[in-house]
Amino acid sequence: MDHGDVILRFQDVSFHYDHNKPILKGASFSIRENAKLTIMGQNGAGKSTIFKLLTKEMKPQEGELHMKKGTTIGIARQVMTHADMEKTVREFFESAFADTKYDIERDIARVLEVVHLVAPLTKKISEFSGGQKARLLLAFAIIQEPDILLLDEPTNNLDRQGIDHLTGFLVMYEKTCIVISHDAAFLNSFTHGVLHLDAHTHTVEQYVGDYFDVVEQIASQIEREQRQNARMEKDIQDQKDKINFFSHKGGKMRKLASKMRAGVEEAEENKVEVRRDDKTIPPFTIDATPFPKPLVQISSVTVIKGHKPMKKKVTLTVRRRHRVLVTGPNGIGKSSLLEAMVNGTEKGAVLDTDAVVGYYRQDFSGLPMDKTVYEILEEAMEKPDKQAVFATAARFLLPGDKVQSKAVALSEGQKGLLCFARFMLQKPSLLILDEPTNHINFRHIPVIAEALNEYEGGMILVSHDQEFVDKITMDEELNLGAL
């Protein structure tokens, strides 16, 4: 694609929330008009922070951010704010503009068509499903027709049809687009380059090429740097051995050893700082508390068709080692069914109150955000064990400083990993999982799938990630769209 002038430039930008824990250190890169870029980096590396700097929600402590005069920015955020939940569809889109827009009905219809959603203008945002809210958030950004479109995990909660529709729109989109996503196949379909955030050095490197090509470039670079350092370390050790030998000989030999030490020090300074690839969580096991009785008995469910709830008869029993995949299009009522089941408000889906239930909500509303990671994990255990808490947290890439942080301070990806850490300590009899791959780095997903496939409790799963689902042996499918 023919890219235009530079529209955005970071110049030696540094940012931190805590002075001792930098997010960015001297980040410098530029983005041209019409470019489509991915921001890549492990959970907590600072991807969302870059978006906050772009939207001026945050300011850098050092360096400058230059933007072409008159440039507008629109962002499709990951989750709806509480303030937006009570707005109608019309009010939600009206809030995208500072001034009254008299032809807004036409524009709303246009952007809803783009995101493939039918949404009555008088319906409240809170009444939509997670997938429908994701489409509304995307439409909210698009309706502003921004010069730079920022997309934060835009495929979360979208079904295959929704992802395909979004991909087609982005391929044809004629302005600048910057995307944060863990959906590798989605990214590879339209991006021109990658901004790679290194969580260890807190620097940003810019790569040209599609997503898979860049991942390969980074892996090759790591391999080259490791080989170069291995050779240098061998040479340095040889020199050190000679220095040790000469320093005990006295006279000219001792002087030679002194000169050689200076050379070794210079060689050690010239060693390449090897880029460390994104860490992947190690294999883990979720033990299941034995439960001999039926975990869930379902005789009817509520489905949403034409924006109206309908009762449908179903005969389904979930026991230990029994796994059910709940499917259906966005808005049919999948998430609502899981939540009503857990809350006891779905009379036709009865959950045994004695069962130990691990519930993964797609919006993490089940996590007490005002509590620390340590408190959340400790409360999941039958008997508190400080060592087990820290060890489990570290296993899910939540080191000591994160353990003392409140859940609200974690990135969305870290919140997802915290949920699985909690399951390890909780040992649930039943797992109820609503889009458990949302926000999770794609490197971790096969590890999580393996753990779920080995889990011996009952399981009810909702997921639009077909590759993930294919890795788990499911016993039964409950297709709400076919009822």
Q: What is the pLDDT of residues 419-437, one digit of tens each?
A: 999 999 999 999 999 999 9
Q: What is the 3-state secondary structure of 232-269?
A: HHHHHHHHHHHHHHHCCCCHHHHHHHHHHHHHHHHHHH
117: in domain: no
CATH, residue 36: 3.40.50.300
pLDDT score at 274:
46
Structural domain includes residue 343: yes
Q: In which region does residue 58 sit, left (phi positive, over 0), alpha (psi from -120 to 50) or beta (all else)?
A: beta
Together in a domain, 477 and 364: yes
Q: Hey, what are 90's tokens?
A: 């019309």
Residues 216 and 41: beta-carbon distance below 8 Å? no
> In this model, does residue 234 exceed pLDDT 60?
yes
Answer yes or no: do 189 and 317 share one domain. no
Q: Which residue has the higher pLDDT, 92 or 19?
A: 92
Q: Domain end: 215, 245, 260, which one?
A: 215
- Please state the φ and ψ torsions of residue 211, each to the nearest 5 degrees: -60, -50
By residue range, what is the domain housing residue 43?
Answer: 6-72+146-215
> What is the C-alpha separation between 342 and 359, in angstroms, rounded?
8
Q: Which helix (H) or strand (E) holds 89?
A: helix 89-94
| pLDDT reading at 230 higher than 90 | no
Residue 115 tokens read as 């995101």
Is the residue at 392 inside a domain?
Answer: yes
Q: Is there a domain that residue 235 lies in?
A: no
- Give CA torsion, residues 246, 250, 255, 260, to 10 deg: 10
Cβ(149)–Cβ(176) under 8 Å?
yes
Indicate whether 301 and 196 sit together in one domain.
no
Instruction: Establish if 280 belongs to a structural domain.
Output: no
Residues 316 and 186 both lie in one domain: no
Going by pLDDT thresholds of 50, 70 and 90, the confidence category of residue 337 is very high
φ, ψ of residue 45 in degrees (nearest 5): -75, -20
**Residue 157 domain-assigned (yes or no):** yes
Give yes or no: residues 365 and 470 share one domain: yes
How far is Cα 374 from Cα 425, in angstroms, rounded to an integer?
12
Residue corresponding to tokens 């940012």: 15
184 and 40 belong to one structural domain: yes
Q: 60 and 162 share a domain?
A: yes
d(CA 410, CA 439): 12
Q: How confident is the model at residue 322, as a pLDDT?
A: 96
More confident residue, 45 or 369: 369
- Does 475 reside within a domain? yes
Look at residue 259 in the predicted model and tell me its pLDDT. Answer: 67
The verdict on residue 283 lying in a domain is no
pLDDT of residue 116: 83
151 lies in the same domain as 20:
yes
Contact 58, 49 (CB under 8 A): yes
- My answer on whether 206 and 340 are in the same domain is no
Q: How confident is the model at residue 216 (pLDDT cuts 50, 70, 90)?
A: confident
Q: At residue 438, what is the residue type?
A: N
Whole-number pLDDT of residue 358: 96
Instruction: Tell me how many domains the chain contains.
Output: 2
Domain termination site, one of 168, 191, 215: 215
Tell me: pLDDT of 273 over 70.
no
**Average pLDDT across the chain, whole number:** 86
pLDDT of amino acid 415:
93
Rounded to whole angstroms, the Cα distance separating 466 from 464 reads 6
Domain C-terminal end among 193, 215, 237: 215
